[in-house]
Amino acid sequence: MSEEPAATTFPTTTTWSIHRYNGSEVLPEEDTVAIEAPLTIQLDGEEFATLVYTPSDTIDLVTGFLASEGLIRFIDQIESLTLEEDRGFAHVKLRQLHQLSRQLVSKRFIGSCCGKSRQFYFHNDMRTAKTVTTKLQLTIPQCFHLMNELQEQSAEFRLTGGLHNAALCTVNKLLLTRADIGRHNALDKIYGHILRHRLSVRDKVLAFSGRISSEVALKAAKMGVGILLSKSAPTDLALRLAEDLGITVVGFIRRDHLTVYTHPERIVECR
């Protein structure tokens, strides 16, 4: 990307006057709520998509969203990215926009690959989601540690109860955290940072606060991350995709319990 926009800081929470019932009486209080803002992405001068997001890490979000949609795979494919965050716009110019990629965004498709029952909702997923072959391994105590670290760093969630959190991790610590009202946005912010800073993810783990849907599994595959941790549950399509794409899914990581759903060979105690 030849032009890096200047980062601008906007508030992500605000206060609201409420009346709270505490079990015996109603009291007036000030509550903290998450800010929700629209962001329209203009692609080569035309409106492409409007996201609703938490106004933070906007450059990462736009970059990751374009990658998730299959329009880019490398940061160098973005010629320029200009933000008008106060007006809710991001202006993107790509070095080369393949018309096929743009036409296939959001077009539904179900197919198979390599003789397996790999199912995709969208054409561009078929083009950009790749099988992960990392040999990284994680212990069960490390799973608990990373999820606990994610929760401890989720200050805005504790204040509002309205944000999802995601983190890129090594086996021992969190390297990068992102938060958003949308769980997919939180992951796209991680993805965008990976691309912008050209990070290697072969030895990295994704920790996530939300449900593991098929789209979440696909984002992990597009990033190239082979282990996905969550305190919540997966869906059946997410597990089928994860099994086929080589992703280890560990869900319901809470207190002293967890469930390994796919590719247990990467969890040391399951070998």
Q: Which pair of tokens denotes residue 255?
A: 């207190």
Q: Is 270 a catalytic residue?
A: no
Q: How far apart are CA 15 and CA 79, in angstroms?
A: 39
Query: Strand pairing of 227-230 and 248-254?
Result: parallel
Amino acid, res. 249: V
Segments in the chain forming alpha helices (H): 58-68, 99-104, 123-128, 140-152, 155-160, 183-196, 214-223, 236-245
Q: If you search the block for the tokens 């803002």, which residue do you land on?
A: 37
State the catalytic residue, choosing from 113, 114, 143, 169: 114
Check: CB of residue 209 under 8 Å from CB of residue 230. yes
Neighbours of 227 (CB within 10 A): 27
Q: What three-state secondary structure class fits 179?
A: strand
- Is residue 178 within 8 Å of residue 50, measured between CB atoms? no
Q: What is the C-alpha to C-alpha distance for residues 202 and 263, in angstroms, rounded to an integer?
A: 16
CB 43 within 8 A of CB 54: no
List active site positions. 114
